[in-house]
Amino acid sequence: MGSDQLTLGFDTSAAHCAAALLSGDEVLVARSEDMARGQAERLMPMIEEMLTRQGFGWSDVTRIGVGVGPGNFSGIRISVSAARGLALSLGIPAIGVSTFEATKRTAPEGSIPAVPAPQNQMYIAPEGESPRLVPHAEDGHTAWPPKPETLATNIALIAIEATAPFTRPAPLYIRSADAAPPRDAPPVILDDDS
């Protein structure tokens, strides 16, 4: 990829909204905002503000990197949906990057990428193994995700290095959703003949 290519990386897989804009491998701007809710409403305006302040428009973006998790189910869907929609409308590739890959980029050599999970657990991805959910441990060998703006930057850098063929980004879910269907029977719907 040429040095004049503009790459956008973003992530909403945790309690943040983070984005980075790179020209080649030079970071032009990286921002994050802490938020437990509201990423869907904030992500696109944040990116547009970043582009405008750097003198760019949407059509200048040539590649997208998006965080696919693991993490918050809704947050992951927000990012992945935004990336897919942007890629389709702009006619550019969108590359899904796991939090494990983005964490490993700046983690100490030999550490195991880990992502906090609910109920005193964590997701881990040891080299050569499938990601899994395990009890939380502070053993000195785990590498936690970097601050959100660094995470978004790492996502963009990994997207820059990706080569075709590209597959559409997809959420990385390691466990099933906490949500469950209602236990109550559905209401009886009466038709007009009753």
pLDDT at 185 over 80: no
pLDDT at 189 over 90: no
Mean pLDDT for 41-46 is 98
Q: CA torsion angle for 142, 163, 51, 145 (degrees, to 10)? A: 0
Neighbours of 51 (CB within 10 A): 21
Q: Quote the pLDDT of residue 190.
A: 74
- Can you say how many angstroms the Cα of residue 178 is from the centroid of all Cα atoms in its chain? 20
Q: Quote the pLDDT of residue 2.
A: 45
Give me the amino acid identity at 153.
T
Query: Residue 101 burial by CB count (10 A; 0-12/13-18/19+): exposed, middle or buried?
Result: middle
Sequence-separated (6 or more) residues with CB below 8 Å from residue 2:
24
Report which DSSP code applies to 60. G
d(CA 124, CA 174): 10
Query: Please, which pLDDT band fits residue 26 given cuts at 50, 70 and 90?
Result: very high
User: Angle formed by the axes of helices 73-90 and 39-53, to 10°?
Assistant: 40
Sign of CA dihedral 172, 175, 178, 181: positive
- Average confidence score pLDDT of the chain: 92
Asked if residue 165 has a cis previous peptide bond (ω within 30° of 0), the answer is: yes
Mean pLDDT for 25-47 is 97
Identify the structural domains of the chain with CATH numbers, from first to last: 6-161 (3.30.420.40)
Query: Please, which pLDDT band fits residue 3 given cuts at 50, 70 and 90?
Result: low
Q: Tens digit of pLDDT for each residue in 145-171? A: 999 999 999 999 999 999 999 999 999
Residue 188 token pair: 């009886």
